[in-house]
């Protein structure tokens, strides 16, 4: 996951079940309540890369967390939690 002030990219392995892709943010980013599955906001860019373009840039935030969950075709899940701050 590569966060930036105006969006986030997620790089996936092509052997993953794309239907299992889940992303949540705490605190809320870009309007939906904290804990909402944001996966539908990501668009494929090709080569296993997905991008979420924010409606408004995040100028300042402390203690943010993005959580990504994805499964392989056998159902094995991988979860990644990334903490971040912006403008600190």
**CATH code of the domain in which 29 resides:** 2.60.40
d(CA 66, CA 22): 10
pTM: 0.74
Give residue 5's pLDDT.
Answer: 43
Cβ contact 38:50 at 8 Å: no
Give the chain's domain count: 1
Q: What is the average per-residue pLDDT within 42-54?
A: 84
Which tokens belong to 47? 């080569």
For residue 73, what are the CA distances in angstroms to 13, 26, 68, 69, 77?
11, 28, 17, 14, 10
CA angle 21, 26, 31 (to 5 degrees): 85
Give residue 7's pLDDT.
Answer: 54
9 pLDDT band, cuts 50/70/90, is: low
Range of the domain at 43: 2-86
């Amino acid at each position: 996951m590569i966060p930036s002030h105006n969006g986030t990219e997620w790089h996936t392995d092509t052997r993953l079940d794309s239907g299992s892709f889940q992303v949540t943010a705490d605190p809320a980013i870009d309007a939906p309540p904290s804990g909402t599955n944001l996966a539908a906001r990501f668009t494929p860019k090709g080569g296993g890369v997905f991008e979420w373009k924010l409606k408004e840039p995040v100028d300042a935030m402390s203690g943010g967390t993005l959580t990504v969950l994805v499964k392989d075709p056998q159902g094995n899940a991988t979860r990644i939690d990334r903490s971040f701050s912006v403008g600190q």
